[in-house]
Homo-oligomer: A and B are copies of this chain.
């Protein structure tokens, strides 16, 4: 006779916020982004621009800065050119090409406030435009300062998860488990794990979501690695399921890790997921740590995936 399973039942649909109801692939990608496309996003807002400038790749960002510098210079050079290059004190050549480049480089020397002075305004109109350009230069640079700080100080969890989740005997029962390490030098504290199982219903149309109870859902200190374990007892939604059932139900284990970054005093989150095809049955993790020759512990981060088969 089966017990009524009240804890698992109450947790059904308990913690989703994930309206993923299609029969299609994974809801959360390996890198933690959601597998959702959004239509109707606002076209442009200043904070969206900030968001993009903060999160884009470094080379992309540098390229944009350079492009902005060139375009702004060209814009002001065109203004100086239209005022006329005879409004400048110049020492260089006087071909059309010389004058154009002098307009451009005077603009660059003004925007960066380097202001050598070998090209300098002769007329007040040029002085007025140059005053505005140098103010714009200072403000742009102020924004660049903020953007660079925002880029570097943004929290970057870089937890490295095992490629596969394992199902193996664990302390009397069977356990579903995966592990992760911190690949950064920052110290993580009070690390919390939440694992939500998403299963296609028997109608193959709707998905249900269950928060899996974990052997331990929070650790105070995180010096090495953490193997998160869901014990598959009789109350578990995985009870009695095998690899084939998981695949048929297009199971997805959605993982949410929360931690406090001690170095930067920031709370950080990282997500990932394991689909049925990424679960290995009958294997357990091998130790990542050995005692070094000096008695100090040594952990090899490359061993995060190391596992070995066990007899079930």
Residues of A within 8 A of B (CB): 14-25, 27-28, 33-42, 45-48, 50-52, 54-55, 58, 65-66, 69, 73, 89, 91-92, 98, 101, 105, 108-110, 112-118, 120-122, 124, 127-128, 130-131, 134-135, 137-139, 141-150, 152-156, 158, 183-187, 189, 191, 194, 196, 216, 218-226, 254, 256, 260, 262-269, 271, 289, 291-292, 295-303
Which residues from B are CB-within-8-Å of A154? 263-265
Q: Is the CB of B148 within 8 A of A42?
A: no
Q: Is the CB of A138 within 8 A of B112?
A: yes
Q: Is the CB of B120 within 8 A of A115?
A: no
A34 vs B122: C-alpha distance when bound (angstroms): 56
Which residues from B are CB-within-8-Å of A16? 219-221
Which residues from B are CB-within-8-Å of A66? 135
Which residues from B are CB-within-8-Å of A256? 189, 220-221
Given A114-B130, A148-B142, A150-B149, A185:B265 Cβ within 8 A = no
In the complex, what's the smallest C-beta–C-beta distance from A61 to chain B, in angstroms? 10
Copies in the complex: 4
Q: Is the CB of A24 within 8 A of B220?
A: no
Q: Is the CB of B146 within 8 A of A139?
A: no
A215 vs B286: C-alpha distance when bound (angstroms): 39
Question: What are 19 contact pairs spanning A and B, CB under 8 A?
Answer: A17-B220, A18-B219, A21-B289, A33-B187, A36-B297, A39-B301, A52-B185, A91-B122, A105-B127, A109-B115, A112-B131, A113-B114, A145-B145, A145-B149, A189-B256, A189-B269, A196-B221, A221-B254, A265-B267
Q: Is the CB of B130 within 8 A of A291?
A: no
Given A115-B117, A149-B149, A36:B224 Cβ within 8 A = yes
Which residues from B are CB-within-8-Å of A42? 158, 183
A225 vs B220: C-alpha distance when bound (angstroms): 24
A122 vs B149: C-alpha distance when bound (angstroms): 36
Which residues from B are CB-within-8-Å of A54? 263
In the complex, what's the smallest C-beta–C-beta distance from A192 to chain B, in angstroms? 11
